[in-house]
C-alpha cells in the first residue's frame, strides 16, 4: 500500500533547502559525518559499559590467512561448521589502521526468536551493538556498513520494524547503509521518512542507482574518514533485485551505468580505500568488481546460508569479496593494515550469546512492541480469514471431556503455556510480545503459523478469546467445531458422519513432523531440524485417542 506522492510532496517542498544542503555533504571535496556522536553514545546512561579488554569471544571461523581463490556460486552449500575448530576471534591481529564492520540481509530478524532459548540462536541488533562497542573499546577506528534488506515482507508491521531498525542502526553509529529490494517494497512515504536527511548530520543511506521520490534526495556516495584514512563508499541495487521493486516512486538506474558516473567522482576524492556495497547476486557482484577495478572491497548480499569463512579473491580484480549471510546472524570485520604483506584481513563473527544485550537496543525493541500494542491487529492490517475446512476453533478445553488423558498430557507440555511465554517471556522478560503477530502465530490457537494471520474464530487477545491461549489441540488437528457439535449432539449426525468427522481430526504420525516444523522451523528452533530430532522430541508430547 503506497503513501501518495502528494502527501509527501508537500512535506518535502518545505524541507527541500535543508535536504539538498544535507545531500551536498557527500560531494568529493567534503567528508560525511558519522550519524551519531560516538562519545555521547558511550556516555549514555542506558548503555552498559564495555567488557574488560581480556574478554574472549570464540568462533568456528578459520584463522585469517591468505584470501581464498575459490569462486563459490549463489547456490553453494554452507561448509560443515562442526568440522572447524573453535578459535579465538581476531587471533594474531594487531590493532588495524581501520576496521570495516559489515552486515546486511537482516530481513526482519531484529532479535533472535528466543523460543528455543537465546543461547541457541544467533543475531539481533542488541548483540550487534555490543560487538561494535567492544571493537571501539579496543581503540580500533571503525566504520559500520550495511548492505541492506532490513525487512522481508510488506505491510504496516514491516514498516514499523523498518523505522525502529533504522533508528537502531543510527544509534549504533552506521556510516553507510544500502537499500535492499525489500526495503524499497515498503510504502515510499515510510521509507522516505526513515531514510532521508532531516538534520545537518545527513543520512547514512547511500546508493548510486536507487533513490526514493527524487534522485537528489539520496546521496550517491559517501566520503568517510577514520583512522586518518579516507574511504569512498557507494552502493548499488542489482538487476534481479531491481525487478522486484514495483513502486513508480522509486528512481532506479542500471548498476554499471550508475557506477560509470559515480566512480570518477569517488576517485577525485583521492581515497585510500574504495568500497562497494553490492545488494546483488554473487555473480553480479563479481562482474561489477571486474568492470570497476578501483574498488578494494566488495560487500555482497548474495549467497545462501552463512557467510564464508574467508573473503574471496576475484579474477581480473584486486578487490576482495565478502558475504554477509542472512537474518543478521553474523557480522564481518575487515581489518586494514597499511603496508603489511596482507593489507586486508577478514574475520567472520557469529552474533551468539557470548555478546550481552545492549540496553539501548533492548529499549528500542520494547518501543517496537509498544507500537504494535498501540496499533493493534486492525491497525496492522491483520485480518482473520476463513479456515479451509470451513470449521471454527473452539479451544482445547472442548476436547477435554472425551480426550482427558491426551488433554492432561498436553497441559504438562510447553505448548499449553505458549502464550504465557509471550506475556512473561522469562528471557528479556521486561518486553511483552503478545501483541506481535509474528510471535502470536505459533503461541496461540487459531493462527496460520507461517502467514502471521488469524483464522476466523481464532485467537484475538487475552480478554477477547481466553479459551484460545496456548498452542492448542486444534493447531495440529484442525478447528473442531463440527466434530464437537456432532459428538455433543448439538446437530443430528449419522454414524457415518461421526466417523468421517473423527477421521478428519486425526493427524497421522507420518504427517506430524511436517506439522511441527511449521513452528519449529530452522529460524525458531535450530535443534529441532537436526537429524533424528523429531524421534527424540515426539515422546515428550505423544498422546493417543480416547480415554
Q: What is the pTM of this model?
A: 0.82
User: Beta partners for 212?
Assistant: 250
Task: Say what the pLDDT of residue 534 is.
Answer: 87
- The pLDDT, as a whole number, for residue 70 is 35
Q: By mean pLDDT, which of 39-53, 137-151, 462-476, 495-509 is the weakest?
A: 39-53
Q: What is the mean pLDDT of residues 343-362?
A: 95
Residue 177 has pLDDT above 90, yes or no: yes
DSSP code at position 455: B
- Above 60 in pLDDT, residue 12? no
The pairs formed by 152-157 with CB atoms below 8 angstroms and a separation of 24 or more are: 152/107, 152/108, 152/182, 153/108, 153/182, 154/182, 154/185, 154/186, 155/1, 155/380, 155/381, 156/375, 156/379, 156/380, 156/381, 157/372, 157/380, 157/382, 157/437, 157/438, 157/452
pLDDT surpassing 70 at residue 31: no
Q: Mean pLDDT throughout 4-14?
A: 39
What is residue 407's predicted lDDT score, i.e. its pLDDT?
Answer: 93
Q: pLDDT confidence of 16, banded at 50, 70, 90?
A: very low
| Among 13-17, 369-373, 514-518, the least confident range | 13-17
Per DSSP bridges, beta strands 447-448 and 453-454 are: antiparallel
Please count the other Cβ atoms lying within 10 Å of the Cβ belonging to residue 321: 27
Residue 362: is its pLDDT beyond 90? yes
Q: In this predicted structure, which of 19-33, 129-143, 478-492 has the lowest mean pLDDT?
A: 19-33
pLDDT in tens, 493-508: 899 999 999 999 998 8
Q: Tell me how far apart the alpha carbons of residues 526 and 540 are, in angstroms, rounded to a whole number.
A: 18
Residue indicated by cell numbers 518545505: 14
Q: What is the mean pLDDT of residues 114-123?
A: 81
- Least reliable range by pLDDT among 19-33, 210-224, 243-257: 19-33
Tell the burial category of 302 from Cβ atoms under 10 Å away from its Cβ (0-12, 13-18, 19+): buried
Domain ranges of the chain: 95-362, 385-541
First to last CA, the chain: 51
CA dist 421 and 431 (Å) reads 11
Q: Give the pLDDT confidence score for residue 87 in this predicted structure.
A: 65
What are 448's strand-pairing partners? 453
Q: What is the DSSP letter of 69?
A: -
Say which range, 29-38, 132-141, 263-272, 403-412, has the weakest mean pLDDT: 29-38
Question: Mean per-residue pLDDT for 208-215?
Answer: 94
Which residues, 6 or more positions from 179, have their beta carbon under 8 angstroms from its beta carbon?
Answer: 148, 205, 207, 210, 235, 237, 279
What phi, psi does 277 have (nearest 5°)? -90, 105
Topology (CATH level 3) of domain 95-362:
Purple Acid Phosphatase; chain A, domain 2 (3.60.21)
For residue 429, the number of C-alpha atoms closer than 13 Å in the C-beta half-sphere is 4
Average pLDDT over residues 406-433: 90
pLDDT at residue number 478: 95
Q: Is the pLDDT of residue 237 over 90?
A: yes
Pairing of strands 297-300, 320-323: parallel
Tell me the C-alpha distance between 215 and 237, whole Å: 14
**Is 50 a residue whose pLDDT tops 70?**
no
Length of the chain as a residue count: 547
With helix as H, strand as E and coil as C, how does 206-261 read?
CCCCEEECCHHHCCCCEEEEECCEEEEEEEEECHHHHCCCCCCCEEECCHHHHHHH
Q: Give the pLDDT mean for 205-216.
A: 94
Average pLDDT over residues 237-261: 96
| Mean pLDDT of the region 132-148 | 97
Residue 58 — pLDDT band, cuts 50, 70, 90?
A: low
**Which of 143, 153, 159, 130 minimizes the C-alpha distance to 31?**
143
Who wins on pLDDT, 509 or 327? 327
What confidence score (pLDDT) does residue 345 get? 96
pLDDT, position 430: 82
Look over the chain and give the mean of its residue pLDDT values, rounded to a whole number.
Answer: 85
The pLDDT of residue 22 is 37
DSSP assignment of 254-315 equals -HHHHHHHHHHHHHHT--SEEEEEEES-HHHHHHHHHH-TT-SEEEE--SSSSPPSS-EE-T
Say if CB 352 and CB 97 are below 8 A apart: no
Residue 131 has pLDDT above 80, yes or no: yes
Residue 356 has pLDDT above 60, yes or no: yes
Rounded percentage of the chain residues whose pLDDT exceeds 90: 68
pLDDT average, residue stretch 500-517: 90
Amino acid at each position: 500500500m503506497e503513501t501518495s506522492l502528494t502527501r509527501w510532496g508537500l512535506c518535502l517542498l518545505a524541507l527541500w533547502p535543508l535536504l539538498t544542503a544535507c545531500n551536498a555533504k557527500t560531494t568529493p571535496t567534503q567528508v560525511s559525518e558519522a550519524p551519531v556522536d560516538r562519545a555521547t553514545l558511550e556516555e549514555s546512561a542506558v548503555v552498559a559499559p564495555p567488557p574488560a579488554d581480556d574478554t574472549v569471544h570464540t568462533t568456528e571461523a578459520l584463522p585469517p590467512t591468505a584470501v581464498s581463490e575459490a569462486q563459490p556460486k549463489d547456490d553453494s552449500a554452507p561448509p560443515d561448521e562442526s568440522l572447524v575448530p573453535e578459535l579465538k576471534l581476531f587471533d594474531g591481529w594487531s590493532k588495524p589502521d581501520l576496521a570495516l564492520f559489515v552486515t546486511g540481509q537482516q530481513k526482519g530478524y531484529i532479535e533472535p526468536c528466543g523460543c528455543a532459548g537465546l543461547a541457541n540462536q544467533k543475531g539481533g541488533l542488541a548483540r550487534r551493538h555490543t560487538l561494535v562497542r567492544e571493537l571501539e573499546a579496543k581503540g580500533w577506528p571503525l566504520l559500520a556498513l550495511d548492505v541492506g534488506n532490513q525487512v522481508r515482507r510488506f505491510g504496516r508491521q514491516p514498516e514499523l520494524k523498518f523505522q525502529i531498525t533504522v533508528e537502531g542502526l543510527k544509534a549504533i553509529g552506521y556510516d553507510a547503509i544500502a537499500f535492499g529490494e525489500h526495503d524499497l517494497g515498503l510504502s515510499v512515504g515510510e521509507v522516505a521518512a526513515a531514510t532521508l536527511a532531516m538534520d545537518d548530520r545527513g543520512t547514512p543511506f547511500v546508493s548510486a542507482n536507487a533513490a526514493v521520490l527524487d534522485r537528489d534526495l539520496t546521496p550517491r556516495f559517501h566520503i568517510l574518514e577514520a583512522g586518518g584514512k579516507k574511504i569512498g563508499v557507494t552502493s548499488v541495487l542489482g538487476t534481479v533485485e531491481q525487478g522486484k521493486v514495483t513502486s513508480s516512486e522509486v528512481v532506479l538506474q542500471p548498476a554499471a551505468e550508475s557506477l560509470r558516473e559515480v566512480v570518477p567522482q569517488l576517485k577525485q576524492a583521492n581515497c585510500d580505500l574504495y568500497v562497494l556495497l553490492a545488494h546483488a547476486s554473487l555473480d553480479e557482484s563479481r562482474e561489477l568488481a571486474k568492470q570497476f577495478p578501483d574498488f578494494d572491497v566488495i560487500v555482497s548480499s548474495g549467497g545462501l546460508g552463512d557467510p564464508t569463512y574467508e573473503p574471496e579473491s576475484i579474477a581480473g580484480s584486486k578487490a576482495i569479496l565478502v558475504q554477509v549471510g542472512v537474518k543478521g546472524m553474523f557480522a564481518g570485520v575487515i581489518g586494514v593494515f597499511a603496508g603489511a604483506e596482507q593489507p586486508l584481513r577478514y574475520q567472520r563473527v557469529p552474533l551468539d550469546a557470548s555478546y550481552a544485550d545492549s540496553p539501548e537496543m533492548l529499549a528500542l525493541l520494547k518501543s517496537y512492541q509498544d507500537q504494535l500494542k498501540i496499533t493493534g491487529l486492525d491497525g496492522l492490517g491483520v485480518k482473520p480469514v476463513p479456515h479451509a475446512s470451513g470449521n471454527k476453533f473452539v479451544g482445547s478445553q472442548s476436547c477435554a471431556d472425551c480426550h482427558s488423558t491426551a488433554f492432561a498430557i498436553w497441559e504438562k507440555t510447553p505448548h499449553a503455556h505458549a502464550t504465557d511465554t509471550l506475556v512473561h517471556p522469562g528471557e528479556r522478560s521486561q518486553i511483552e510480545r503478545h501483541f506481535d503477530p509474528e510471535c502470536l502465530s505459533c503461541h496461540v490457537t487459531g493462527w496460520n503459523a507461517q502467514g502471521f494471520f488469524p483464522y476466523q474464530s481464532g485467537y484475538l487477545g487475552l480478554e477477547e478469546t481466553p479459551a484460545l491461549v496456548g498452542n492448542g489441540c486444534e493447531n495440529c488437528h484442525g478447528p473442531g467445531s463440527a466434530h464437537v457439535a456432532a459428538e455433543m449432539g448439538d446437530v443430528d449426525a449419522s454414524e457415518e458422519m461421526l466417523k468421517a468427522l473423527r477421521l478428519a481430526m486425526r493427524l497421522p504420525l507420518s504427517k506430524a513432523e511436517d506439522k511441527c516444523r511449521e513452528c519449529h522451523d530452522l529460524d525458531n528452533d535450530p535443534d529441532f531440524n537436526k537429524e533424528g530430532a523429531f524421534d527424540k522430541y515426539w515422546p515428550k508430547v505423544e498422546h493417543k485417542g480416547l480415554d
